[in-house]
A and B are shown apart, each in its own frame.
Chain A
Amino acid sequence: MRIITHTCSACGTVVAANELEDNRVMKCPGLGCQEVLRFDDLSEDAREHFLDHRDRYQI
């Protein structure tokens, strides 16, 4: 299963795509980081793959 992540450009915290997709727009979970992360920050290819297999990233 392809695992998709995004790295916050401000603090370096890595966030899994399932977390981004849950929220769509979220404050970076890095403590004290004010950066806003979006599911749309992922590449189009990554987003498409994730959405095509969305059920696998839930539990």
Chain B
Amino acid sequence: MKGVLLSGGTGSRLRPITHTGPKQLVPVANRPVLEYAIEDLKEAGITEIGVILGNKGRNEIQELLGDGSDYGVEITYIVQGNPLGLAHAAGCARDFVGNDDFVMYLGDNILKSGVTELVESFQAGDYGAGIALQEVDDPQAFGIADVDDAGNVTQLIEKPDDPPTNLALIGMYVFSPTIFDAIDNLEPSWRGELEITDAIQDLFEDGYEIDSHVVTGWWKDTGKPEDILEANRLVLEDKKLKTAGVVEDGATTDGRIELAESAVIEDGAVVRGPVSIAENTTLMSGTYVGPYTSVGADSTLENIHIENSVIIGDSEITANGRIVDSLLGRGANVGSADELLPEGRRLVVGENSQLKL
């Protein structure tokens, strides 16, 4: 079994965060989203991983993952270039995959329970493909599968008006190498892409059984800022958090706190977990860091009250105010305008930023 990890895409819904890097490297609980996928594949016993690169962020992704040895896996890079669809991405991996089965994992997805059960379920039968499903409240907005009592897929429908089930396809698949022949025979869809659901549907029509596995733990597609915050909350909730850094006398802490060895919570700061504070970051007196917040490396916080937020790193946040439900890009600084005249907020805001003042 091999792994194919998709790391392309434009990240347009995460601008301006993705103006400077690929969406798969946005951190959740201070780790790039993509690392969770690598760990999930490894946990499922998959150590040969093809990483599909699009037009954006190729070097950053290669710099992070390298040859995979830091993660105990072997990585081959596959440059898809133009985003011609998931089936095109899979097809580009044909030479890498060879005659093996493979898991295809969307690199901006994150899920609680990993892919081990999906793989085991696929391996328990003689399937052409296996798909991960999750129950959703708004099936009209998703690709939906209909399944029989044995869990075999009988139909796939994209955003149905009248959904037969509420089981949505999430971005995890297992394929036998027969999928490549199905991809070869595909025609681009109305949007000019090779659709993976069309390839699976073709396998089904050719008589292959398609397995399904319903994922019960949480699953998040981290395509939008609110999804990053939600994923950050879910991971902090579940993750084992270790306090290795310095908590000074006079600091108030409560709950689970991940504090990197070189990070400091100074006298007069208040931290309520679950939170994650990365390397070389200092929380100075008067700072309050509330639940579900991740503060990236090399940052200084003073006076600010922040909760349910992600600060990516290299930031100085020294305003005397409250920040909630926010995502701050690398190098973003928030200072105080209290002493400045005329009274008012002063902004240098990048393209596609969103502010609520």
Contact = CB atoms under 8 A, between A and B. Distances in A.
Interface of A: 1-3, 5, 7, 12-16, 18-19, 22, 29-31, 56-59
A3 B194 CA distance: 10
Contacts of B83: 59
Nearest to B77: A13
Interface string B40-67: 0000000000100100001100110000
10 contacts: A5-B92, A13-B78, A13-B79, A16-B82, A16-B92, A18-B81, A19-B80, A29-B58, A29-B77, A59-B83
A2 B185 CA distance: 7
Could you say which of B84, B95, B183 has the most chain A C-beta atoms within 10 Å of its C-beta? Answer: B84
B187 A1 contact: yes
Given A29-B53, A30-B62, A56-B188, A22 B95 contact: no
In the complex, which range does the number of interface residues on chain B fall in?
Answer: 20 to 34
State the main secondary structure of chain B at its contact with A. mixed
B30 to A, nearest CB: 24
A58 B94 contact: no
B106 interface: no
A7 B189 CA distance: 27
Could you say which of B59, B77, B194 has the most chain A C-beta atoms within 10 Å of its C-beta? Answer: B77
Contacts of B116: none
